[in-house]
Amino acid sequence: MSISTKVYEEKMNSALDHLNRELAAVRAGRANPAVLDKITVDYYGAPTPLQQVASVAVSEARILTISPWDRSLLRPITKAIQASDLGINPIDDGVTIRLTFPAPTEERRKQLAKDVSKLGEESKVAIRNIRRDAMDKAKAAKKAGELTEDDQKKMEEAVQKLTDKFIKKVDAAVADKQKEIMSV
């Protein structure tokens, strides 16, 4: 009997997806609708994600425009953005809301690059923990007589290859985001 690496690949993939969502929320000075993903608006008494009550578009490199489906939501959306940790003051013109992203200072860009590195390291740790679990499972299966020693070695090699592949993907995602942050 051999243990499938599919389960571990899915877990590593979800760790990578989590990293990509976290990186999308990092504000690099460019307008990116993903920075609004965590913002909810009070819509008829229910907290509703901003994307469900308005269209969000990048009108220029550093400007996001938010057009609510219902104009009565202009003020609640403005308040929700001000209450968030975005640090951007929304401009309400009565029809749409504009968010102008300032260019980050050199010091701020370096700090953002460090934060991105930290997110990458956390993802690598998660992937290595998944590898460790797989290795432990293979050893336990060998001990229980479910795997031969050769099958255990094959399993460990396959998991290591998978780990290396996902670590490279994490490094590439972090490098891309750092390049985006550091470009002026």
Per-residue pLDDT tens over the stretch 82-136: 888 777 888 888 889 898 887 778 888 888 889 999 999 999 999 999 999 999 9
58: CB partners within 8 A, 6+ apart: 31, 32, 33, 64, 65
Exposed, middle or buried: residue 6 (CB in 10 Å: 0-12, 13-18, 19+)?
A: exposed
Q: Which helix (H) or strand (E) holds 66?
A: strand 63-68
Indicate the pTM of the whole model: 0.69
Of 10-14, 41-45, 77-81, 105-109, the range with the highest mean pLDDT is 10-14
Per-residue pLDDT tens over the stretch 129-156: 999 999 999 999 889 988 888 999 999 9
Domains of the chain: 6-24+105-182 (1.10.132.20), 33-100 (3.30.1360.40)
pLDDT at res. 170: 94
7 vs 13: CA distance, rounded Å: 10
